[in-house]
Amino acid sequence: MKFQRFEAGGEQAHVPQIPVEELSERMKQGAFLLDVRTANEWSAGHVEGATHIMGGDLAKRAAEVPTDRAVHIICGSGYRSSVASSVLKRAGFGDVVNVAGGMSAWNQRKLPTVSGQSVGCASLVQSGA
């Protein structure tokens, strides 16, 4: 996937937002979730089934993101996922959804998480409801 350079003031892409409760339901149906937080944040706890690509690495790893289904994006609070959502929209991804409130909202609602060092693998520790 080729990324173009955009100047400030250019056309903005609309990216819908959903609350974490809706994401939780979509995850039960097999939704694709992209977590753009740092490796340390990911290891401390993430949504089971999520794919981890740190936001700063997204441009060079965009080929790992599916183009044939909705891409839900989460970070710590919603800011980095909003930026990542815009990056993917501008790169031609059609169905991109930002998760409002990020992992802060997820954890506040005591939704389940897994933790561990292994990216892309089920971990050994589970917490939450």
Known catalytic membership, residue 121: no
Q: Which of 50, 75, 96, 105 is catalytic?
A: 75
Q: Which three-class secondary structure state does DSSP give residue 22?
A: helix
Question: Long-range contacts for 67-70 (Cβ within 8 Å, ≥24 apart)?
Answer: 67/92, 67/93, 67/94, 69/32, 69/95, 70/31, 70/32, 70/95, 70/96, 70/97
Tokens of 7: 């100047």
| Beta-strand pair 113-115/125-127 | antiparallel
What residues are labeled active site? 75
